[in-house]
Amino acid sequence: MRLPYSLLFFLVAALVFLLQWLPFTGFFLMLLMAPLWSVLLVNAGFAGTAVEAAIKRVPLVWLALPLAWFGGYTAFALAEQRAFRRLQDEVAASNAAIRIAFDAERHSLVIAEGREGEWFVINTELPVIYARNPNFAGARHLATRMVAREACARIGPNAAARAAGVHAFGFHDGSVQEKRFCTVRQPEDPVLPEVTVEVSRRSTTVDRLPLDEATTTVAMPDGTRHVLRGGFAAPLPSFPQPLVGCGLRSASTRWDCSALFSRNRFTPIPRTGSRFESDSIVLAQALGLARVAPAERRGADMQAVLASVEAARRRTVEAETAKLERALADVSADVGGLPFKSLRGQPDAIVERLDRIVAAIERGIEIRRKGRNNAQQLWRLLWLVPATALDPYRNRIDAFKDKDGWFVPKSSGS
């Protein structure tokens, strides 16, 4: 029986896979995106076989191969699409039935999962959103607001502000940068009753359709709970895209080979018209938050935000100054891993304590362990002050490296 020339495509695909299976050649082929080559080679093999059978170069029985390949794939893809549409209908009906009695003037919206929630203050009428974060002085939440870009320019690359957890960010609408507004995130606790949002995820399948399901639970101050559904699916595309190849798995640093079909990952389950913010849109609709077009955005009061930022900075400086005093009184005291970040922008506070800082470093080097760790943090503070301020301590500072090679003198601030 005459064989189709198109079988050579499969032979080439097999050879490419064999070369990928060997890590030495496979690494270079991985850089050339060789796992994607199988999409062209395999489909060309089946399509070419169909053409050769149609023009009667080979017997018609060879049509069974492309028919099984393209027909079988299409049947599976259509079945997944039907399952996906049923799931979307079910999720849409479930979410549409939920309306939450949220009022931005009477409630504070708190994201409990660690996300900051910038999308809500940028795209809805919500003036501020909170995220739980206990890592900053004086507050157990981070508040995010949209404000005029002038405020972000005034905050700028301020080391003390960053140490206080204050950050300013620009943002885009698609590929267009917003030039009028930015967002400011800072430590601040809500004062109004909290409406908390928690999101949990799980990987599952529905009729062989892989899902990354998201469950958003909204808890009201009175204990009432509402559950919204969302997440992403990974349906098969309309055309078969077989990926056959090998690559380095970063999680295990292992060379792995696989053969699978490419899928349309991150296909949102809710029908919102947005690919990546569908769950946020569903939550905004349930909360009754009106969407705001880019041209209609209104920032928060700039002066109030700047005053709040300054208050956060002062709280952090005061907290870190207290840690510094504890370390100076007892160089082995527990003051955390990076206890003096905001003091790097406070040279006067360092200069007035230089004598005690140098003495504490001397004690820490002798004590070792926790004392040495704190001595290292204090050592970094020394080089943030003018060189002339260190002149009276030069001999003592130079002697540190003889006791511990880590403490090598460097250039100080100017």
Give the residue-averaged pLDDT of 100-110.
Answer: 97
22: tokens are 């060997």
pLDDT bin (cut points 50, 70, 90) of residue 114 is: low
Burial group, residue 252, by CB count within 10 angstroms (0-12, 13-18, 19+): exposed
Residue 43 φ/ψ region, left for φ over 0, alpha for ψ in the -120 to 50 degree band, beta for the rest: alpha
Give the residue-averaged pLDDT of 194-203.
Answer: 96
Return the higher-pLDDT residue of 163 and 51.
51
169-178, 235-244, 322-331: lowest mean pLDDT where?
169-178
**pLDDT at 64 > cutoff 90:** yes
Q: How does 26-65 read in b/e, with b if 16+ C-beta sit within 10 Å? A: beebbeeebbebbbebbbbbbebbbebbeeeebeeebeeb
pLDDT bin (cut points 50, 70, 90) of residue 414 is: very low
pLDDT bin (cut points 50, 70, 90) of residue 370 is: confident
Domain boundaries, the chain: 7-91, 330-403
- As a whole-number percent, the residues of the chain with pLDDT over 70 amount to 98
Strands 194-206 and 108-111 come out as parallel
Residues 33-54 have pLDDT tens digits of 999 999 999 999 999 999 999 9
Return the higher-pLDDT residue of 204 and 134.
204
pLDDT bin (cut points 50, 70, 90) of residue 163 is: confident
- pTM (predicted TM-score): 0.83
What is residue 212's predicted lDDT score, i.e. its pLDDT? 97
User: Mean pLDDT of all residues in the chain?
Assistant: 92
Give the sign of the dihedral formed by CA 286, CA 290, CA 293, CA 297: negative
